[in-house]
Each structure stands twice: as C-alpha cells, then as structure tokens.
C-alpha cells in the first residue's frame, strides 16, 4: 500500500507540474521574443533620432555601437546601406518602412525592426536593427532548462513528502494488521493503538470494540462450560454413589433408592436451568414456581450433604426458627449457592459445618460456617480461578454471580472460624 500511495502522489505531482510548466514555457518563449522585438525597436528609434539630415548630401554618418549579437544600419531612399552593418540592399521590411511606418518582421532566422528617418514630414532614410533568432532561442532554452530543473527539484521534494506521508498513513494500518494477526494467533489481549488520524482511529476503535465483544463472548462460553462442569460434578457423583450403594447393599429399599435418585435428577435439572439462566444473564423471576420456603431448601440441602460430610467424619447442623423457615426464597438459585458453600466447606474447611438462618426483616441471612480458617483474603476469595487447594477456584465466583442475578449478595463475613453469609432480599425490600 505504501508504494501505491507514493505512486498516486507522484502521478498527481507530475500532472500538476506538466500543467504548470507547459503554459509557463510558452509564456517564456513569447515573452523573450516580444522583449527582443521591443529592444530592437528602441535601438532603431534611438539611432534614427541621432541621424543628421545632412547624410543625404553625402556627409559621413556615425551610428552608435549596436549590441554585439545584432546589426544596425542606415539606408537611404535608394535602399542602399549608407552606414552601419546589414545587407547591402534593403530587405522587404526596410522597403515597407520607407512608407513612413515602423515595421517589425521575422525572416531568414532574423528579427528585424525598421524605423523611418524623417525631415519636414518627409522620409529621408530608414534605420534597420536586426538580431538572429538563435540568440533569442539560446536565452529561451536556458530559461526552459532552469524551469525544468526547478520542476525536477519540486518533483523530488514531492516524492520525499509523499514517501513520508505514505509511511504516516500506512504505519497505523500495518500496526492494525499485526494486531489482527496476533488476535488470530490467540492473543485476545492485543488492541489497536490510536494514531491521531480520525478515519484510521475510527477503524481501530471499531476493531477494538469487536475484539472486546468477541473476547467477552468467548469468556462467557468458557465460564458457562466451567460453571456447568463444576455444578454437575457433585450431584452426578452423589447420584452414582447412591445407585451403586442400592445395587451392592443387601436389603436396600429399592423404592427409597429410586426416589432419592429421582430427587437427585430433579436437582440436576434445576442446576442446568440455573447455569443456563446465568449464561443468558436473565434475572430470576421472584414469583410463582421459582419460590420455595427456605426451610424446605435447607432440608433438601441437608439430605444432599449429610452423607458426604458424614463419610469424612464431619457433622452438618441446621440452626433456624420455624417463623423464618416459612419465608419464601428463589428456590433453585438458593439451592445452587448452598451447594457451592457446602462443597467449599467440605473441600477446604474442617470440623462441624453449621448452616444458620436469620430473619433481618428486609432480608434473610443464610450463614454457612465451619471450624477452619480461609487461606485467601476477603478480596481474593471470590475471584474466578483463585484457589490454594485442590479445587478450580470457580465455585465461590459462580456463587457471587448467581447471587447477583437473583438480586442477592454473598460475602465472607467471618475468618476465625470461616463463615460465608448469603443475604436474600424479601419481597418489597429488594
């Protein structure tokens, strides 16, 4: 592209110089010949004034010296050369001047100016001044050479300026191309820089916006995959273990095992709905079937997590009063957040896990506490990917996202021991 810009500028400069130089060359030629004719006429007139009328009686005539490249001569009425230089017999211009008019003529490679010499309103002779056209052409060619030199210098300057401007115009586009190549190679952090050229900056801004949106979309897809994997792994494991236990344990109540499996599958279905809802960034509808009594939500969570915690020799305790347990909350979202907090206590905590419910009037507070201490500070604990244990660092970040979509809030409210608090606004107090 840089070469194209230079070529375009060079063609434009060349056309402009040609359109300027050709008329100027014509003007120079016309002006030089016109000036030379004017000089010849002035020389002839100045000589005619100094000619004495007595030359007709045979007196000698002294003419002023003419220019070195020209001729000046005095002719009498018989058309013979009486003084100066010139052809021996008068030429046609000199003959016409005997009629009493100034005559200018170009003939035989000469410029001629003939001026009559008068006495008592009678022509007594003619002064002829002449110069070869070669001398005029020499000066014209010298002027044309100077004009051509000037044009070439101007063209050279135009080329230098065009190359500089081409670099200034193409460098941002080349940088934008390199940025696009880096993005295509996988560097989604690459961004086009500003160059102070409005049109190119507009393209760079649109490019950066497009890359930002694509990056967000890709991150959204990655988060969705990670969220789905994180949330489905635990209930699937529980479902598998429950079914295996029902098959391998003699005397197991198969109906109870099937009912438990169905309950797990319903929980899996709710989990999928919640992850999809989070991926679409849709707010949770706080009315209708999505609401469930918080007491039921806690009891379902106890049934899901009592076994895994007991297997490790740990207890799960619920603390709430009946009045608070009868209040409605977004059931599926609260289920998912409780699963994340209980899974976090199971993986990273120690001792007894206590789930407490408090009625704050405008909101319900669900506390999930264990007897361990957090290894991350409050600012980093909800950052996606931040973990010091075997986990992936997704759970708590996902819990905060789920809470945000539901209009709730979650925070690390205690560190000795660890306690997370989920605040669920009540209807009319969100």
Tokens of 194: 């500003």
Distance of alpha carbon 192 from alpha carbon 109, whole angstroms: 70
Is 357 a residue whose pLDDT tops 60?
A: yes
CB 352 within 8 Å of CB 314: yes
Q: How confident is the model at residue 396 (pLDDT cuts 50, 70, 90)?
A: confident
CATH C-level class of 2-151: alpha beta
What's the Cα-to-Cα distance from 34 to each of 27, 69, 105, 136, 310, rounded to whole Å?
Answer: 10, 17, 12, 10, 119
pLDDT interval class at 429 (50, 70, 90): very low
pLDDT for residue 422 = 93
pLDDT grade for 387, boundaries at 50, 70 and 90: low
Boundaries of CATH 1.10.287 in the chain?
198-282
351 within 8 A of 414, measured Cβ to Cβ: no
pTM passes above 0.85: no
| 135-145 pLDDT tens trace | 899 999 999 99
CATH topology of domain 283-425: Heat Shock Protein 90 (3.30.565)
- CATH assignment, 198-282: 1.10.287
Domain with CATH 3.30.565.10 in the chain: 283-425
Model confidence at 226, in pLDDT bands (50, 70, 90)? low
């Amino acid at each position: 592209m840089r070469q194209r810009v230079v070529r375009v500028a060079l063609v434009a400069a060349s056309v402009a110089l040609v359109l300027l130089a050709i008329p100027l060359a014509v003007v120079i030629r016309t002006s030089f010949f016109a000036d030379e004719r004017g000089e010849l006429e002035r020389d002839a007139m100045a000589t005619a004034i100094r000619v004495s009328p007595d030359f007709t009686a045979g007196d000698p005539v002294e003419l002023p010296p003419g220019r070195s490249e020209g001729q000046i001569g005095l002719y009498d009425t018989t058309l013979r050369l009486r003084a100066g230089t010139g052809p021996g017999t008068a030429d046609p211009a000199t003959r016409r001047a005997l009629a009493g008019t100034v005559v200018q003529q170009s003939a035989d490679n000469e410029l001629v100016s003939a001026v009559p010499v008068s006495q008592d309103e009678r022509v007594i002779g003619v002064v002829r001044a002449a110069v070869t056209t070669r001398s005029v052409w020499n000066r014209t060619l010298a002027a044309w050479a100077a004009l051509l030199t000037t044009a070439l210098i101007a063209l050279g300057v135009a080329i230098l300026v065009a190359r500089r401007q081409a670099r200034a115009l193409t460098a941002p586009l080349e940088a934008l191309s390199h940025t696009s190549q880096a993005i295509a190679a996988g560097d989604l952090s690459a961004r086009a820089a500003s160059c102070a050229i409005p049109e190119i900056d507009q393209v760079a801004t649109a490019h950066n916006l497009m890359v930002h949106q694509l990056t967000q979309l890709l991150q959204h897809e990655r988060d969705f995959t990670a969220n789905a994997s994180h949330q489905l792994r635990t209930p699937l494991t529980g479902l598998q273990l429950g079914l295996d236990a029902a098959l391998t344990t003699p005397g197991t109540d198969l109906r109870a095992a099937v009912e438990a499996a169905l309950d797990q599958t319903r929980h899996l279905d709710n989990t999928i709905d919640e992850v999809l809802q989070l991926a679409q960034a849709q707010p949770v509808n706080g009315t209708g079937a999505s609401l469930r009594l918080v007491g039921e939500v806690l009891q379902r969570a106890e049934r899901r997590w009592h076994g895994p915690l007991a297997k490790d020799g740990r207890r799960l305790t619920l603390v709430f009063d009946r009045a608070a347990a009868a209040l409605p909350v977004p059931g599926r979202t609260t289920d998912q957040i409780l699963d994340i907090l209980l899974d976090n206590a199971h993986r990273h905590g120690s001792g007894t896990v206590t789930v407490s419910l408090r009625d704050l009037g405008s909101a319900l507070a669900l506390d999930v506490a264990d007897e361990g201490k957090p290894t991350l500070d409050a600012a980093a604990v909800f950052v996606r990917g931040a973990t010091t244990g075997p986990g992936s660092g997704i759970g708590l970040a996902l819990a905060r996202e789920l809470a945000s979509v539901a209009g709730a809030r979650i925070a690390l409210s205690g560190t000795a021991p660890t306690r997370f608090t989920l605040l669920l606004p009540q209807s009319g107090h969100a």
